[in-house]
Amino acid sequence: MTTQLQNLRFDLTRRGILKGAGALVISFTAPVTIAEAATAAGTAPKPLDPTQLDSYLAVHRDGTVTAFFGKIDGGQGTDVGIAQIVAEELDLPADKVAVVMGDTVLTINQGGASGSFGITWGGKPMRNAACEARQFLLNRAAEKLKTPVEKLTVANGIVSVTDAPGKKITYGQLVGGKFFNIPMKWNGKIGNDLDVATTATPKKPADYKVVGTSPKRRDVARKVFAQPTYVTDIRVPGMMHARIIRPPVAGAVPTAIDQASVKDIKGVRVVQKEGFVAVLADKEWDAIRAAQNLKINWSQPDAAFPEPAQIYDYIRKAPVRKRTVEKNTGSVEDVFKNAAKVVTADYEWPFQSHASMASGCAVVQIKGDSVTLWTGTQKPHYARDGVAAILNVPVEKVDAHWLTGPGSYGRNDAGDTALEAAFLAKEVGRPVRVQGMRAEGIAWDPKGPASVHTARAALDENGKIVAWQFESKGFSRLEIDSNESDPANSILGQQLGVAPKPTEAFGTPDESYDIPNRLFAWETIPPLLQRASPLRTSHLRDPIGPQVHFASESFIDELALAAQTDAVEFRLKHLKGRDAEAVKAAADKFGWDTRVSGPRGDGKADIVTGRGIAYTKRLNTIVVVVAEVEVDRRSGKVRAKRFAVAQDCGCIVNPDLVRMTIEGNIVQATSRAILEEVKFDRQKVTSVDWESYPILDITDAPEKIDIVLLNHPEIPPTGAGEPSSRGVAAAIGNAIFDATGVRIRRAPFKPERLKGSFA
Amino acid sequence: MTTQVHIVVDGKPHKISVDDPNMPLLYALRDELKMDNPHFGCGLAQCGACTVHVNGQAIRSCVTPIGAVNEAKITTLAGLGTPEHPHPLQAAYVEEQVPQCGYCINGWIMTAAALLKDNPHPTDAEIRKGLSGLKCRCGTHMAIIRAVKRAAAMA
């Protein structure tokens, strides 16, 4: 506790947060900045330049370091991992490294939060910058101490002569407050792919002292003691509160607006352009009342959506926009013709919502030709680009400051609010804060795509899989892009008439089963509504991972059953190396009982239990999830009681934070598997709140989640943010089969659907 | 017509002029008193992100009219404890590193604080039942339960 509170004070003081506390908080992320470093050095601040070490790292006079990281952390501790990686190369304790994230003034675009790449890709240039800095510091120390580098020792930011520890100099004395002015070889890319090379040699994993330990998060105490943290708390002088009014039915546009209907509410402004309508007021409650009271006549477009009960048939029959064969080895057709046994099955997955704790929020201030955006989006650099585009100003004129938003699991509605706040700030000539009501974050956020999956496999006489065909068909995972840099990918842009630019993208199972003949393909279908659709699809945590692996890993269990083999043994028959080790680790941790899955006894008890396993990969991270479920055969209620998870994500930078990240994924993915499905009718989304889009309640949260981390320090980190989401639905579905003998091939496993299934 | 409302928030008295006595308490705290919490989550009393104590009871400030809390004593998360003098739940939350995005935090801590006042040593089942209905989208439920148990053990 004491350490944490000391950290809090350290953190607050360093970052000047307390200075901004209170009524006027407009820049509380302003930290020890490049500008401050420049001022200290008596020079003008330099523009960010990916080829300069100074763009990634500053050493201050007190010997502390600031890392400038062009990604963000949504609460999993990515910033702590970056601090550890930088501290490791510099031989500092992690708490001497502050991390500034996602601020376009202070950081280069490293892609924002994306694809579990925070440490995997984001960490590499940061490590190389630290490594380069260390080399420079040691060389300079060698000059100052008149001792060759080989005879110097570094500990805690102090360089000393190995044989004469009294001869020493600190990092702060060597470079504190000044620029390094060291060029780095840049790979010419920005975003996730950005990398810079170091001319020095990074530490060997065997020598790690900071990487592999578990320093705690820096934002927790701030959140717990209600210190300023969130984008929702930004207040700018003269700011108006805005509420966006979404059409009552998908595709409708306003035909008449009765301004008089809100004339009694003080200072209300109504803004309408093309399909976009918003109300603004000085006080938030007045904006909300105005949004409720404003009378609008809307056009009555044709129903945009199919009958919800027919959605999966609709997908099966829909025209194919794009077909991609991702894997094609051997010849599945030849094998199927002569196979001992062929098994086929179809699976279905619904639209799902980010349903973040609140809908997105953004604040924009325009002063002369300078624009400032405060945003909670995962990708603040891209939001800056989108704001510049919607305002038609050069990107250099827009600064974006990132702050924690109300939850971040992909391309949610946060990016939309950034563009809306900018557009409205220009329209009303004042700073504008936009935050939606509950429905804007559930009914109107971009959705995870609905899909159908067809699997077919051939088994040989020994019960081994000899051919596997797996086909997915569904809405693209990128009907709108995963960032908001182009107004075409925002709801505002589409409402203003910018033509959408969907990308056709889906995916196939990621695994290393030894199967000689394989055909994996996916097909995408057209969006249900071209513009401003509440069912437009984009990235939701582990994009397409849960749907594809629900199907593929349920199917592997069906094959195990066909081969009359235990589900763990069956997988191990087709796996080796780290994959097999992860399967064994999860099964051991769980206390797996080896037997062919299916109900024990007569299976007719009211409450039955079962266990199921799922093995998945995600870009070289291996996750194996074992679930124990309890099924009430009368009500159809499924409770996931206990999990054992084994994860191999290469080198583990911070084991405690990886554990917490896995726990969050397991609970959220359990919610998605058992409960979550966006409801809609022919004209609109009818999931508008937590009643109509329920998520897992704490009374149904698991009793226990056991986690085994398989650490491989010699393998660079492969990503921990979301891989543990993808196997959960299959593990639960497989456990339901084990409990009941009934195979559920459509998610979610909610009682109203399952009731009657177990008669 | 303007109404005057007196409330004591985290120990400090305030006089607030409101045009609409139906305005939820949440907006008095955020807009009038410029407090950074509680948060707006749903406006429907379905999530808990706006939870404060009104005369010791955990309530959802997003649906509680300001006109209904005249003369009330209100405690927010900021008033529950400080880094120097943390409430046991705050200390436990830090120790267990509970929140991810943390936007839901007012609901869980303020509800659990009221729960522990009534029942200082709840069972697991009592903790879950007492916190039922609150939302956490990041899925930190396991850590929440650990923290409430830790806080109960401290008392």
3-state secondary structure of A151: helix
Instruction: Tell me whether residue A447 is exposed, middle or buried, using C-beta atoms within 10 angstroms of its C-beta: 0 to 12, 13 to 18, 19 or more.
Output: buried
Predicted confidence (pLDDT) per residue in A475-515, tens digit: 999 999 999 999 999 999 999 999 999 999 999 999 999 99
Q: Is A538 part of any domain?
A: no
Å from B33 to nearest chain A CA? 8
Q: Is A759 part of any domain?
A: no
Q: Kindly state whether residues A321 and A373 are assigned to the same domain.
A: no
Predicted confidence (pLDDT) per residue in A167-176, tens digit: 999 999 999 8
Per-residue pLDDT, averaged over A102-128, amounts to: 95
Label residue A601 by pLDDT band (50, 70, 90).
Answer: confident
Dump strand ranges (E) for A567-634: 607-618, 621-632
Judged by a CB distance cut-off of 8 A, whether residue A404 touches chain B is: yes
Predicted confidence (pLDDT) per residue in A395-442, tens digit: 999 999 999 999 999 999 999 999 999 999 999 999 999 999 999 999
B36/A230 touch (CB, cutoff 8 Å), yes or no: yes
Å from B83 to nearest chain A CA? 6
Instruction: Provide the whole-model pTM.
Output: 0.95
Q: What is the pLDDT of residue A33?
A: 44
Which residues on chain A are in Cβ contact (under 8 Å) with B83? 5, 8-9, 221, 225
Q: Under the phi-then-psi rule, with left for phi > 0, alpha for psi from -120 to 50, and beta for the rest, what region is A130?
A: alpha
Q: What percent of chain A has pLDDT over 70?
A: 94
Task: Supply the Cα-derived Rg of chain A in whole angstroms.
Answer: 27
A696/B141 touch (CB, cutoff 8 Å), yes or no: yes
Q: Cis link prior to B38 (omega < 30° from 0)? A: yes
Q: What is the pLDDT of residue A46?
A: 65
Å from A357 to nearest chain B CA? 6
Q: Is A460 part of any domain?
A: yes
Q: Kindly state whether residues A588 and A634 are assigned to the same domain.
A: yes
Judged by a CB distance cut-off of 8 A, whether residue A446 touches chain B is: no
In terms of residues, how long is chain B?
155
Predicted confidence (pLDDT) per residue in A256-265, tens digit: 999 999 999 9
Helix residue spans in A354-480 (DSSP H): 380-391, 414-428, 438-442
pLDDT for residue A345 is more than 80: yes
Which residues on chain B are in Cβ contact (under 8 Å) with A402? none
Of residues B24, B82, B135, nearest to A357 (C-beta) = B135
Q: Is A321 part of any domain?
A: yes
Q: What is the pLDDT of residue A759?
A: 80
CATH number of B88-154: 1.10.150.120
Instruction: Tell me whether residue A139 is exposed, middle or buried, using C-beta atoms within 10 angstroms of its C-beta: 0 to 12, 13 to 18, 19 or more.
Output: middle
pLDDT for residue B109 is more than 70: yes
A690/B42 touch (CB, cutoff 8 Å), yes or no: yes
Label residue A200 by pLDDT band (50, 70, 90).
Answer: very high
Number of structural domains found in chain A: 4
Of residues B46, B133, B138, nearest to A75 (C-beta) = B138
Q: Is A9 part of any domain?
A: yes
Chain CA centroid to CA A252, Å: 31
pLDDT for residue A321 is more than 80: yes
Predicted confidence (pLDDT) per residue in A639-652, tens digit: 999 999 999 999 99
3-state secondary structure of A229: coil
Q: Is A530 part of any domain?
A: no
> What residues pair up with A298 in beta bridges, in sequence order?
A254
Predicted confidence (pLDDT) per residue in B29-56, tens digit: 999 999 988 999 999 999 999 999 999 9
Predicted confidence (pLDDT) per residue in A54-96, tens digit: 999 999 999 999 999 999 999 999 999 999 999 999 999 999 9
Chosen domain end from A220, A243, A272: A220
**Rounded to whole angstroms, how far apart are CA atoms A564 and B115?**
50
- Residue extents of the structural domains in chain B: 3-80, 88-154
Q: What is the pLDDT of residue A45?
A: 60
Per-residue pLDDT, averaged over A623-628, amounts to: 99
Q: Kindly state whether residues A34 and A94 are assigned to the same domain.
A: yes
CB count within 10 Å of CB A225 equals: 24
Q: Kindly state whether residues A292 and A389 are assigned to the same domain.
A: yes
Could you please report the per-residue DSSP string of A490-526? SHHHHHTTPPP--B------------SEEEEEEEEE-
Q: What is the pLDDT of residue B40?
A: 98
- CATH: 2.40.50.140, 3.30.2420.10, 3.20.20.70, 3.10.20.30. Which one for B3-80? 3.10.20.30
Q: Which domain holds residue A252?
A: 233-301+360-436
Helix residue spans in chain B (DSSP H): 25-27, 77-80, 88-96, 105-118, 124-131, 141-154
Which residues on chain A are in Cβ contact (under 8 Å) with B82? 225
Q: What is the pLDDT of residue A21?
A: 28
Predicted confidence (pLDDT) per residue in B50-86, tens digit: 999 999 999 999 999 999 999 999 999 999 999 999 9
B131/A232 touch (CB, cutoff 8 Å), yes or no: no
A225/B136 touch (CB, cutoff 8 Å), yes or no: no
CB-based contact A483:A379 (threshold 8 Å):
yes
Which residues on chain B are in Cβ contact (under 8 Å) with A668? 137-139
pLDDT for residue A19 is more than 60: no
Tokens of A74: 């949504």
CA-CA distances (angstroms) from residue A47 to A50, A426, A498, A549?
10, 27, 32, 45
**Rounded to whole angstroms, how far apart are CA atoms A516 and A330?**
6
pLDDT for residue A15 is more than 90: no
Q: Kindly state whether residues A481 and A408 are assigned to the same domain.
A: no
**Rounded to whole angstroms, how far apart are CA atoms A458 and A453?**
17
**Rounded to whole angstroms, how far apart are CA atoms A657 and A418?**
30
Instruction: Tell me whether residue B110 is exposed, middle or buried, using C-beta atoms within 10 angstroms of its C-beta: 0 to 12, 13 to 18, 19 or more.
Output: buried
Question: Do strands A465-475 and A517-525 pair parallel, antiparallel, or not at all (unpaired)?
Answer: parallel
Q: What is the pLDDT of residue A602?
A: 82
Å from B116 to nearest chain A CA? 17
Q: Kindly state whether residues A350 and A364 are assigned to the same domain.
A: no
Contacts of A245 (CB under 8 A, 6+ apart): A277, A278, A279, A291, A294, A296
CA neighbor of A638 nearest in space, from A733, A526, A560, A549: A733
- Which residue in this structure is represented by tokens 């006549």? A297
**Amino acid letter, A539:** H
In A, minimum Cα distance to B21 occurs at A285
B139/A696 touch (CB, cutoff 8 Å), yes or no: yes
pLDDT for residue A14 is more than 80: no
Q: Kindly state whether residues A127 and A144 are assigned to the same domain.
A: yes
Helices B105-118 and B124-131, packing angle to 10 deg: 130
Q: Is A228 part of any domain?
A: no
Å from B7 to nearest chain A CA? 18
User: What is the average pLDDT value for chain A, to the nearest integer?
Assistant: 93
Interface test with A, best of B2, B19, B36 (most A CBs within 10 A): B36
pLDDT for residue A220 is more than 80: yes
The CATH number for A272's domain is 3.30.365.10
Å from B121 to nearest chain A CA? 18
Per-residue pLDDT, averaged over A30-35, amounts to: 42
Helix residue spans in A573-725 (DSSP H): 577-590, 655-674
Q: What is the pLDDT of residue A176?
A: 87
Chosen domain end from A174, A192, A220: A220
Q: How many CB pairs under 8 A join A and B?
A: 188
Predicted confidence (pLDDT) per residue in A231-253, tens digit: 999 999 999 999 999 999 999 99
B39/A221 touch (CB, cutoff 8 Å), yes or no: no
Q: Kindly state whether residues A748 and A607 are assigned to the same domain.
A: yes
Q: Kindly state whether residues A168 and A288 are assigned to the same domain.
A: no
**Amino acid letter, A675:** L
**Rounded to whole angstroms, how far apart are CA atoms B97 and A77?**
10
Judged by a CB distance cut-off of 8 A, whether residue A283 touches chain B is: yes
DSSP state, A358? S
Per-residue pLDDT, averaged over A19-37, amounts to: 35
Q: Is A737 part of any domain?
A: yes
A225/B47 touch (CB, cutoff 8 Å), yes or no: no
Q: Kindly state whether residues A413 and A555 are assigned to the same domain.
A: no
Q: Kindly state whether residues A517 and A659 are assigned to the same domain.
A: no
Predicted confidence (pLDDT) per residue in A717-757, tens digit: 999 999 999 999 999 999 999 999 999 999 999 999 999 99
Predicted confidence (pLDDT) per residue in A137-152, tens digit: 999 999 999 999 999 9
Per-residue pLDDT, averaged over A439-456, amounts to: 98
